[in-house]
Amino acid sequence: MISKNMENMLNEQINKELFSANLYLSICSYFQDQDLDGFANFFRIQSKEELFHASKQFDYVHDVGGKVTIKAVDAPETEFNSTIHAFEVTLAHEKKVTASINELVKQALAESDYATHNFLQWFIAEQVEEESLVNNLLSKLRMIGDNSSALYLLNAELAQRTFVEPAK
């Protein structure tokens, strides 16, 4: 039902989602070390979302008769220079994920694999949302600068974020 090439590409994407989850846990740890529990919460939720993405892709590969092959996940970056640097790393990473999803869509269309193309539309919309969210927070952090009161308020706002698994 799914080509071997598409199966391999989706397996690579699952691996990338697992890497993303680990990267965001690493950034979560950085913020916990900084006593910024709201920022840590934001990245813990981001990690959970990435695991959800991997799980959704895992299920899809099985649903279309493919075989999931879990591979080793590279170690993520663990040192960040600042709050802004952590978000710059995040935005750059989300752009890489977007490019990867776009390649999957391109391949699905090239193979006339409309089921996979349809499946990937959710991820296209998700990446628009992810990049927008991170870009917005990065803009706020740049506005905040060295204002610890504003950082405190943003930290408190991010502490309220919760993970809600999207409906299937």
pLDDT in tens, 90-119: 999 999 999 999 999 999 999 999 999 999
Model pTM?
A: 0.94
Q: Give the position of tokens 């990690």.
A: 47
CATH number at residue 146: 1.20.1260.10
Range of the domain at 155: 4-159
How many domains, in total, are found in the chain? Answer: 1
Query: What is the chain's mean pLDDT, rounded?
Result: 96
Per-residue pLDDT tens over the stretch 29-70: 999 999 999 999 999 999 999 999 999 999 999 999 999 999
Share of the chain above pLDDT 70, in %: 99
Residue 165 lies in a domain: no
The answer to whether 62 is annotated as binding is: no
Residue 47 CA neighbour count, 13 Å, CB half:
17
| Other beta carbons within 10 Å of 67 | 11
50 is in an annotated binding site: yes
Q: What is the pLDDT of residues 115-140, one digit of tens each?
A: 999 999 999 999 999 999 999 999 99
Q: What is the largest CA-CA distance in the chain?
A: 56
* Residue spans of alpha helices (H) in 34-66: 37-63
User: Would you call 89 helix, strand, or coil by DSSP?
Assistant: helix
pLDDT category at 166 given cuts 50, 70, 90 is confident
Structural domain includes residue 25: yes
Query: Is 164 a member of any domain?
Result: no
Judge whether residue 155 has pLDDT over 70: yes
Residue 94 annotated as lining a ligand binding site: yes
Contacts of 33 (CB under 8 A, 6+ apart): none
Report if residue 140 sits inside a domain: yes
Residue 141 lies in a domain: yes
